[in-house]
Amino acid sequence: MTQSHESGQSPIPSDLVREDPALTDLVTRFVNGLSVRLQAMERALRIADFEALSVAAHQLKGSGGGHGYPSLTARAAELEQHARNHAIDDCIDALAELKDLCARIVVREP
């Protein structure tokens, strides 16, 4: 993810960086890795690998909050629950919402 916000909604900066700017590099690495995580989730969803999707969403749920993105934690938790329930349509919707949210994530306020 880059510092752009393609969805037209306001960017979502890291609460962690706001509290401690010394953690900018750590959060930048996390943000830069979001696209790889989303691609893995898309692959898992395409082949209906609900276990892999649930695990990936669970990991993002924890690391999102840990890097200062509580909204990312909440959205990933929804996806995790849908994957555990094998609810394919809900997973599709939740992953689309997660991707939209990730498009708005930035390291710090512009």
The answer to whether position 92 is within a domain reads yes
This prediction has a pTM of: 0.88
The answer to whether position 110 is within a domain reads no
Q: Quick check: 75 and 90 in contact, CB under 8 A? A: no
pLDDT in tens, 3-32: 344 445 899 999 999 999 999 999 999 999
The answer to whether position 48 is within a domain reads yes
Q: At 109, is the pLDDT very low, low, confident or very high (cuts 50, 70, 90)?
A: confident
Residue 21 CA to chain centroid, in angstroms? 21
The answer to whether position 9 is within a domain reads no
The answer to whether position 55 is within a domain reads yes
CA–CA gap between residue 99 and residue 40 (Å, rounded):
12
Q: At 110, is the pLDDT very low, low, confident or very high (cuts 50, 70, 90)?
A: confident
The answer to whether position 7 is within a domain reads no
More confident residue, 2 or 99: 99
Q: What is the mean pLDDT of residues 70-89?
A: 97
- What does the DSSP 8-state code read for residue 3? S
Q: What is the biggest distance separating any 2 CA atoms in the chain, rounded to whole angstroms?
A: 41
CA–CA gap between residue 79 and residue 84 (Å, rounded):
9
The answer to whether position 6 is within a domain reads no
Please determine, for residue 97, whether its predicted confidence score (pLDDT) is greater than 70.
yes
Q: At 1, is the pLDDT very low, low, confident or very high (cuts 50, 70, 90)?
A: very low
CATH of the domain at 65: 1.20.120.160
> Which residues constitute the domain of residue 66?
15-104
pLDDT in tens, 43-75: 999 999 999 999 999 999 999 999 999 999 999
Our count of domains for the chain comes to 1
